[in-house]
Amino acid sequence: MLTLATVNPGEPEIFSSLQGEGPSMGRPSIFVRLSRCNLACRWCDTAYTWRFSGDNRPHRDEVAFEREDNQLSLDEAEVAALILAHSEDRLVITGGEPLLQGAALAKLVVLLKDARPAFHVEVETNGTVAPHPLLDGLVDQYNVSPKLAHSGNATDLALIPERLETWAKDPRGWFKFVVSTPADLAEIDSLQHRYGIAADHLFVMPEGTASGVLRERSRWLAEEALERGWRFTDRLHIHLYGDTRGT
């Protein structure tokens, strides 16, 4: 069984849209959002995947979601059928932290690749969890987003040296760092040099859930990316649809 986030109570968050971030930005894709996360970012814009009633981990909105309205479990075959009802040939598996659901997620992707062999599968991950061996052989792209100090997560939980070394060596690994202030850049620079992250696989992205905030931060962040040889990514879906589920 897979544990999914919902768009509305009882309705899994599976939808077609344009990929809004990273190396695939602008590509038509199918998205499936899984629930549960092992980290707790203060600025997380999908806190409904993990901050349920009784979870007191800090979040800037201080909202606690009811689990029964925001999470549901479905058989892998049911999820595969819902995904295959869409026509796009690119799948983005997001969360939460999708890799926490290793064996079940692997089973889903096996079903999808059997049905549609040309499927391009992207997995979005915080970079702390190793993929299930069966899943790993079927993933075309990992969008790895390590969480910096401003996320509020303890370093020993958010930045796992073994995992970062592995992702940095994998050509399927694309790093995306969320940036709030210029002070975050020194931490990214340190991580890049420590783990040998290739500059052309390193994206910086402004943090924000409002178009105006993103534009303001993009002005200086784009200049920093240019100067440092990094890649810049915006959050296209926020500009197009706002901070909404299923987009």
Averaged confidence pLDDT in the chain: 97
**What percentage of the chain reaches a pLDDT higher than 70?**
100
Spell out the long-range contacts of 150-158 with Cβ–Cβ below 8 A and sequence spacing 24 or more: 150/42, 150/43, 150/180, 150/181, 150/183, 150/184, 151/39, 151/41, 151/42, 151/43, 151/178, 152/40, 152/41, 152/42, 152/58, 153/39, 153/40, 153/41, 157/38, 157/39, 157/128, 158/39, 158/126, 158/128
Identity of the amino acid at 122: E
pLDDT band at 5 (very low <50, low <70, confident <90, very high): very high
Distance CA 149, CA 159 (A): 10
Give the Cβ contact number of residue 217 at 10 Å. 18
How confident is the model at residue 39, as a pLDDT?
98
pTM for this prediction: 0.97
pLDDT tens digits along 148-168: 999 999 999 999 999 999 999
How buried is residue 117: exposed, middle or buried, by Cβ count under 10 Å (0-12/13-18/19+)?
Answer: exposed
| Mean pLDDT, residues 136-147 | 98
How confident is the model at residue 56, as a pLDDT?
87
pLDDT tens digits along 32-48: 999 999 999 999 999 99
pLDDT tens digits along 187-201: 999 999 999 999 999
pLDDT at 222 over 90: yes
Distance CA 216, CA 83 (A): 36
Provide the Cα torsion 122, 128, 133, 134; round to 10°.
Answer: -40
| Mean pLDDT, residues 127-139 | 98
| Mean pLDDT, residues 110-124 | 97
How buried is residue 223: exposed, middle or buried, by Cβ count under 10 Å (0-12/13-18/19+)?
Answer: exposed
